[in-house]
A and B are shown apart, each in its own frame.
Chain A
Amino acid sequence: MRQTAEGSLRARLRSVWNDTFLYTLLSILIGLLAGSVILLVTGFNPIEAYGTLFGGVLGTGKTRMYAVQYAAPIIFTGLSVTFAFKTGLFNIGAEGQYIMGGLAALVVSVLMPLPAGLHGAVAVLAGGLAGAVWGAVAGLLKAYKGIHEVIVTIMLNWIAFYFSNFIVMTPMFKKPNSTASVEVSETARIYTDAFKEHFGSVHIHWGMLLAPVAVAFCWVILNKTTLGFRLRAVGFNRNAAEYGGINVGRSISLSMGISGMLAGLGGAVQVLGVVGRITQLAAQEGYGFDGISVSMIGGINPIGALFAGLFYGGMKYGGSKLNIIGAPSELVNVIIGVIIYSIAIMGAFRALVFFFRAKKEGRPL
């Protein structure tokens, strides 16, 4: 009796998951359909355009690795947003944490001479730490002063942005006659040229391996540890968690810290593994905001974030290929936008399906 009750529960959970998965695929389809409507209206052949886009991404080993290179940083920011979400927090500050992570990595790489190999690892860790501090600031303010994390993280994004621009332009870091910093030191580089003959100019870097490790880290913390248990309890019901003896303030700070660390790691691996320097920016690059999209497409699930990150990374890379047939590469942003809308609306769509089913069966709502 008990066995069957639990069995059916598991079956139901599975069906919900399948549900989410199917709805996500449906949303992607709707996004692509919307894209093709725009292509048709603007006088392009959608089949040709999508052929170019997906062919350009999946065509060769090199293009596929390019997609992974694009995906790596947004998998980190996607995880960052996902982790915060799972513990009841909305981290809009992945952008700032990402910037601080990259900046810390640059600073360590330039100012702290260390042997090759070790240098890169220390710089990546410094990036994670800087992101963690940046996230924890928002967490502490939320936990002990009651200031909403959305407001604080948005402000911290701009502080990080201008701080980074300021540091990059100081004589110590500025590369003469440029608007960028000096290159990260050779010893701190985390990419390898070993696969050059296969992948050409693609930067194969350790961050690509670190991303799935971070996915596993998030999944294990959230689902398997007492820490995750407590963080989720606080996220779901702060009052009951406090009543049950969980230190709520600590949990919120810690959760934002971990979330920030993930985004910071993303910034660090991108600077050390791909870009090699930090340029003075006129506008935020949007890696943190892409992370919100990745998190949503991934169904707010660490494993989902990995695949959503790869998908989004591929789309970002493939967008540039659209120029070949003269179509605007911004089309990709439209498609992603429609996908996000569809996912948001899917909640309503699902409620609608539920409503009609309930109505049909005469069930109470």
Chain B
Amino acid sequence: MDDSLSGTVAASESPPAVDMLNITMMFGAFKANDNVCLTVPRRSIHAILGENGAGKSTLMNVLYGLLQPTSGEIRIKGERVSIDSPSRAIELGVGMVHQHFMLVPPFTVVENIILGREPMRGAGVMDMGKARADVKELSDRYGLNVDPDAKVEDISVGMQQRAEILKVLYRGADILILDEPTSSLTPQEIKDLERIMKNLVAEGKTVIIITHKLAEIKAIADLCTIIRAGKTIDTVRVSDVSEQELASMMVGRTVEFSIDKKPATPGEVVLNVENLVVRDYWDHEAVNGLNLTVRAGEIVGMAGVDGNGQSEFVAALTGLRKAESGVITISGVDMFNKSPRTLFEHGVSSIPEDRQKHGLVLDFSVAENLVLQNVGEPEFSRHGFLRKDNIMNHARELTETYDVRPAGCAAAKAGSLSGGNQQKVIIAREVTNDKELLICVNPTRGLDVGAIEYVHRHIVSQRDAGKAVLLISFELDEIMKLSDRIDVVFRGKVAGSVEGGKADQAMLGLMMAGGEAHAANR
């Protein structure tokens, strides 16, 4: 590692906050971490970048005391330590915010934060007043903006995360590990989190974030350690490298950010939606008078801030929710309020937003998942009996073509695959269906750049094969990269439409916020 790096960020000659030396972590014969070194200077934001399964979470679990390394040494603020449990880690000032929050939903924020460390007033009597004041003070100091009395079940994901951060701070941590902190946040919440992290550093804390999102690293991190296949590839000063370089170091090959896309040659209208009205759970008209067309051979992107009717629109389009009124046709055939089965039979295939809820039966094997919709076809069953050999062969072919890992996973349970590979299973299935319309909802959520590139290539190749593609995503970059036309949705309507090549982020952002007139006049 480059020695000049230490001490550059935080002007101090004191030892680094964390020094992990030659950490090796074996699981059986598998080396999850292979001689990994990590030096985190005090008062810095240090990113750990790697693909899914590269070993970054393992490394952090070692630091947080959840795992004991097979070999290696850990120093916290210069002192050699052995961290055999999370409580020991907390004693040493190391706190971790997990990707999946660990809060008690019916408890208030304060109750959650003090859980296990309740301040006492005499024997067995909790001092809620002091607890509340302490939490409030911490929240204000770091600008966390958390309502201490709100119940966790009532607050947004972003606030839940801030409550988790508060919990860690309350326990006296000065080294905070955040595991994939932005994976479930909205863009605004991500901005807030970035600000909070900077506040934390300004107040003397050290922050380690585990992530595979390059833009975030560029935006906030000082240093970045790249881990690939369990080995440290490099530690770099973020300002010195481009996203492109980071991505290449992460996956070990050149990653194409821009996609090689021929101009679209749109044909007949496949999907036509007119004046669609869909009510949401609370009976509001979440979609009110939406119009949209998608032609064969084009990708129409639907951009918009979450909560402007996208979920209800997709649910109505895929047969999961009844629409109030309007028109939906597929290739001219009425498909208004039809069942998922009918839609499937009439040419609709979709990559659902929630792959574990709607996309896969996690307790089924990959092979079974791949025939979920068409098990009744003669290739896979005869007289109501499954043709297991054909189902397995089909799965072997698809898992190979779509590079679903681990190799030979056709018989493995879908739930045992990583998120990216689960997504590949769904894409393999939906693309193989070869339907006229492909609906993709946040198709790359939670995937790393390598997998994203892969998914994007498949979406474009579907378009090139003459399919109509509707892409609904909260990732503006994704929308701009793939779409031939972008429809911006605002408050349940399409507020404006832009040609794919001519869109820029500022313009779309403005339209997404409801500023259609301005944007359209530019």
Contact = CB atoms under 8 A, between A and B. Distances in A.
Contacts of A363: 27, 67
Interface residues of A, number: 31
A1 B399 CA distance: 14
A245 B430 CA distance: 13
Given A226-B385, A240-B372, A244-B373, A2 B344 contact: no
A364 B56 CA distance: 13
A239 B375 contact: no
Given A243-B359, A364-B66, A5 B407 contact: yes
Nearest to A2: B408
Given A229-B375, A236-B362, A236-B364, A361 B27 contact: yes
A244 B352 CA distance: 10
Interface in A314-365: 361-364
Contacts of A3: 408
Interface in A227-264: 227, 229-230, 232-233, 236-237, 239-247
Contact of B340 (A2, A229, A230, A243): A243
A145 interface: no
B267 interface: no
Nearest to A12: B412
B408 A225 contact: no
A197 interface: no
A227 B373 CA distance: 13
B372 A6 contact: no
B368 interface: yes
A111 interface: no
A116 interface: no
A244 B340 contact: yes
Given A240-B358, A240-B361, A362-B25, A2 B376 contact: no
Contacts of A227: 384
B68 A362 contact: yes
A243 B363 CA distance: 16
Contacts of B373: 244-245
B158 to A, nearest CB: 25
Contacts of A236: 361-364
Contacts of B359: 240, 243
Contacts of A10: 411
Interface in B327-349: 339-341, 343-345
Nearest to B377: A226
Contacts of B340: 242-245
B341 A245 contact: yes
Interface string A1-32: 11111100110000000000000000000000
A242 B345 CA distance: 14
B318 interface: yes
Contact of B67 (A240, A244, A364): A364
A237 B363 contact: yes
A171 B243 CA distance: 88
Contacts of A239: 357-358
A299 B375 CA distance: 28
B370 to A, nearest CB: 11
A232 B368 CA distance: 11
Interface in B376-397: 376, 380-381, 384-386, 396
Nearest to A223: B386
Given A229-B386, A233-B364, A241-B361, A2 B372 contact: no
B368 A229 contact: yes
Contact of B372 (A224, A244, A362): A244
Contacts of B292: none
A220 to B, nearest CB: 8
A1 B67 CA distance: 30
B59 to A, nearest CB: 12
A243 B358 contact: yes
Given A233-B372, A236-B363, A239-B358, A245 B28 contact: no
B411 A9 contact: yes
Given A9-B412, A230-B375, A362-B27, A237 B384 contact: no
Contacts of A361: 27-28
Interface in A196-226: 224-226
Interface string B174-200: 000000000000000000000000000
A364 B27 CA distance: 9
Contacts of B68: 362
B411 A243 contact: no
B169 interface: no
Contacts of B375: 226, 229-230
Contacts of B345: 245
A239 B361 CA distance: 9
B35 interface: no
Contact of A237 (B320, B341, B362): B362
A363 B350 CA distance: 37
A351 to B, nearest CB: 17
Nearest to A230: B375
A243 B354 CA distance: 11
A227 to B, nearest CB: 6
A189 B266 CA distance: 73
Contacts of A233: 361, 364, 368, 372
Nearest to B371: A229
A5 B408 contact: yes
B57 to A, nearest CB: 8
Given A2-B408, A233-B372, A362 B70 contact: yes
A247 B372 CA distance: 12
Nearest to A7: B408
Contacts of A246: 341, 372
B24 to A, nearest CB: 11
B58 interface: yes
B28 A243 contact: no
B469 interface: no
B412 A241 contact: no
A5 B406 contact: yes
Given A2-B408, A226-B375, A361-B28, A240 B357 contact: yes
B92 interface: no
Nearest to A228: B386
A224 B386 contact: yes
B409 A224 contact: no
28 contacts: A1-B407, A1-B408, A2-B407, A4-B408, A5-B406, A5-B409, A10-B411, A224-B385, A225-B386, A226-B381, A227-B384, A229-B375, A233-B361, A233-B372, A237-B361, A239-B357, A240-B357, A241-B372, A242-B320, A243-B340, A243-B350, A243-B352, A244-B372, A245-B373, A247-B341, A362-B25, A362-B70, A364-B67
Please provide the 7 A-B residue pairs with the shortest distance between their CB atoms, ordered closest to farther: A5-B408, A2-B408, A245-B341, A244-B372, A243-B358, A236-B363, A237-B361
Given A2-B396, A236-B363, A240-B359, 5 more contacts: A6-B411, A241-B361, A362-B67, A363-B67, A364-B61
